[in-house]
Structure 1
Amino acid sequence: MTRIQHHRAGARESGRRFSVVAYLLHAAGRVLERHPEANAVMAPGWPGLRAPRTVRFTGVTAKLALDRTADGERTVLSALLPGLECADLATIQARIDRYRSPAASGLPEFRGVRMLDRLPVPLGRTAFATALRNPRRRPAVLGTVAVSSLGHRPVDGFHAGGGTAVTLNAGQVVDRPVVRDGLITAAPLMRLGLTFDHRVIDGGAAADVLADLKQTMESFDDGPASPGTGGQAELRVPDGTTTAGTA
C-alpha cells in the first residue's frame, strides 16, 4: 500500500481526498476486465426447459456495502458503481461520496429498494428473486462483483459473500514489518481477501484474480483505461460441468 498511501498524501496536499475503497474499486474494474471468467454469475435454469449456465458480463459493476442507520436501525446499504473498467479514481470517489451522504437512502438509485421494503416480506422476496433470474438485469440489481471493507475498524481480515461470483474483502491499513533488500523496515499493509462461487470459477482462477488485484494496487496508476461497454451480459453455456477441480 506504499504507493497508494503516497498518492493519497499528495492528493490531500492539493485539497483532494481519496478513500482506500476507491483505489480497491479502481483496481477491481481493471482486473475483472482482464479476467472475464470471474466477472460472471451462475444463472438458474428452468426445470425441464433449460439447465443452469454461466453468464459473463461485458462491463464491471461493483456492489459496495455501506454501513447506514435507517429509522434508528443499523443496516447495510448496497450501492452500485457501474463502468468500473474505465472509470478514473476521481469519478469513483465522487460516486462513493454521493452514496455516503446523509441523504443517500433517499436517492433515486434506491427507489427499487424502498419499494421492496414496503412490500410484505414473502412478496418482496419473490419480486427480488424474479429480478435476479434475468441475467441481463442482474448488474443493475446486484452488480457483477461485491466489495466490502471493514478498514475503518481494527479488523485485519474477514470473509463475506455478496451474492456475486467474486467478493472482495478489505481490512485496515497498518504499518507492519516487512523485508526489503534484506533489511527489516515498516510499510503500510492491508489484508485483502477474496471469496468466490465455486460453480463459476475454480480456486486457480480465483488465485489469479487475487494476485492480479494485489499487483495492480501495488503499482497503482490512474491513467486512461479502455472504453466501457455498458455492463451488458454475454451468455455462455458451459461445456457440461460447472464445478471446479482444484481448491
Structure 2
Amino acid sequence: MSVSGDRARRHTRYFLNWARAAAPVHLGADVDMTRIEEHRAAAREAGRRYSVVSYLLYAAGRIVARHPEARAMARGVLRPRTAALPDVAAKLALDRRTEGGERVVLTAVLPRMDVASLTEIQDLVDLCRESDPHDLPGAAAVRLLSQLPPPVGELVFRLGVRSPGARAQRLGTFAVSSLGHRVVDVFHSYGGTAVTFCAGRVADRAVVRGGRVVAAPVMSLGLTFDHRVLDGAAAADVLDGVVKRLEGWHGDLSGTRGEPRDGAGIRPARSGDRPGGPLGTSP
C-alpha cells in the first residue's frame, strides 16, 4: 500500500485499536421486507427514492430511543460503569474514495434519528453519499488524524471519544453499516456503540404464510452489542423491536413517517411466518 493509502486509513486503525477493549456479541434475524419493498415501489412511482438503509435508520432510531441501555457507553477500568449518551444519533458507515483514489471507510453522524421523518433521513443519507468527502461531518478530524504521527494521532483519537458528549458527537449513539449492495447475506461489525446494526442484501427467499411456502423479499439483519454495556436479553429486545418495525411498516407517501397505529410500536399485519401470531405482532 502506498504511503498516502496508509495515511488515509489511519483513523480506521486508531478506531480498531481503541475498539479492542469492547466485548462484542453478535445476534441475527431475518426480516420480511415485503411492506418496505411495497412502500419503496410506490415511492418510485411517485418520483421519490428511499434506500433500505434509511428505513433501517428510521426503525432503529425509534427503538433505541425506547431502550436507554442501548444508547450508553462503558467507562472506567478500575471502577467499571456505564454512562448514558445524550440524544439519539446514528453513525453511518460510508464507502468512499479519497482524492488520491484510495478506497476508505468514512463515517457520518446523523442526529435526531428518533424524530426525523423518513424523507429527512433519506435527504441526510443522500447528502453523505454524494457530497465531497471533505465536506462530511468530522472530515476535518479525519484529516488531522492522518497528518499526525501515529502515536500522537492514536492518543488524540482516544481523548476525542472519552466523554459521553464527545462520544455521541463523533461515534453516535448507535451505528448502522450495510453491505446490501453486493451478494452479502450476513456480516457482523462493531461500530464503537452499544449496538451496531449490520444489513445484508434483500433477496427473495422461502417463507411460510398461512401454512404455505411463498417467496418474499428477506433481509438478514445482524446486531452487534457491547456486552460491557448491556446483556443479551436486552439486546434481543432491541433487535426484535427493529424487526417488527420494519415488517409492520405503515406509512403513506405524503408524510412517509411510517408511524404504526398502536402505542406498542407495532401495527397488526397479515399472517406470517413468525411463531405466536400474525406478521408484525408480538407472540
1:224 deviation in Å?
6.3
1:198-217 Cα deviation digits (max 9, x unpaired): 11111111111111110011
What is the alpha-carbon distance in structure 1 between the residues aligned to residue 141 and residue 62 of structure 2?
29
Is it true that 1:42 corresponds to 2:70 in the alignment?
A: no
Going from structure 1 to structure 2, the CA distance change for 1:75 and 1:30 (only over 3 Å counts) comes to: same
Correspondences of 1:114-153 after superposition (within 5 Å): 114-153=143-182
Is it true that 1:66 corresponds to 2:62 in the alignment?
A: no
1:189 deviation in Å?
0.3
1:151-186 Cα deviation digits (max 9, x unpaired): 000000011111111111100001111110111111
What is the alpha-carbon distance in structure 1 between the residues aligned to residue 128 and residue 168 of structure 2?
18
What is the alpha-carbon distance in structure 2 between the residues aligned to residue 108 and residue 34 of structure 1?
26
1:57 corresponding residue in structure 2: 85
1:106 corresponding residue in structure 2: 135
What's the C-alpha RMSD, in Å, of the aligned pairs?
1.6
What is the alpha-carbon distance in structure 2 between the residues aligned to residue 214 and residue 135 of structure 1?
28
Q: Indicate conservation of the 8 Å contact 1:98/1:104, yes or no.
A: no
What is the alpha-carbon distance in structure 2 between the residues aligned to residue 108 and residue 136 of structure 1?
16
Going from structure 1 to structure 2, the CA distance change for 1:58 and 1:133 (only over 3 Å counts) comes to: closer
1:239 corresponding residue in structure 2: none
TM-score w.r.t. structure 1 length?
A: 0.85
Correspondences of 1:1-247 after superposition (within 5 Å): 1-44=33-76, 51-70=79-98, 71-107=100-136, 109-221=138-250, 222-223=257-258
Q: Indicate conservation of the 8 Å contact 1:3/1:220, yes or no.
A: yes
Q: Indicate conservation of the 8 Å contact 1:164/1:197, yes or no.
A: yes
2:275 corresponding residue in structure 1: none
Secondary structure in 2 matching 1:200: coil
What is the alpha-carbon distance in structure 1 between the residues aligned to residue 141 and residue 86 of structure 2?
24
Q: Indicate conservation of the 8 Å contact 2:50/2:122, yes or no.
A: yes
What is the alpha-carbon distance in structure 2 between the residues aligned to residue 174 and residue 72 of structure 1?
31
Going from structure 1 to structure 2, the CA distance change for 1:5 and 1:106 (only over 3 Å counts) comes to: same
Identity across aligned pairs (percent)? Answer: 54
Count residues in correspondence: 221
1:122-148 Cα deviation digits (max 9, x unpaired): 111111101111112111111111111
1:43 deviation in Å?
2.0
Q: Indicate conservation of the 8 Å contact 2:97/2:104, yes or no.
A: yes
1:223 deviation in Å?
4.8
- Which amino acid is 2:239 matched to? L
What is the alpha-carbon distance in structure 1 between the residues aligned to residue 82 and residue 238 of structure 2?
18
What is the alpha-carbon distance in structure 1 between the residues aligned to residue 136 and residue 175 of structure 2?
20
Q: Indicate conservation of the 8 Å contact 2:108/2:137, yes or no.
A: no
Q: Indicate conservation of the 8 Å contact 1:26/1:84, yes or no.
A: yes
Q: Indicate conservation of the 8 Å contact 1:167/1:195, yes or no.
A: yes
1:105 deviation in Å?
3.0
TM-score w.r.t. structure 2 length?
A: 0.75
- Which amino acid is 1:35 matched to? H
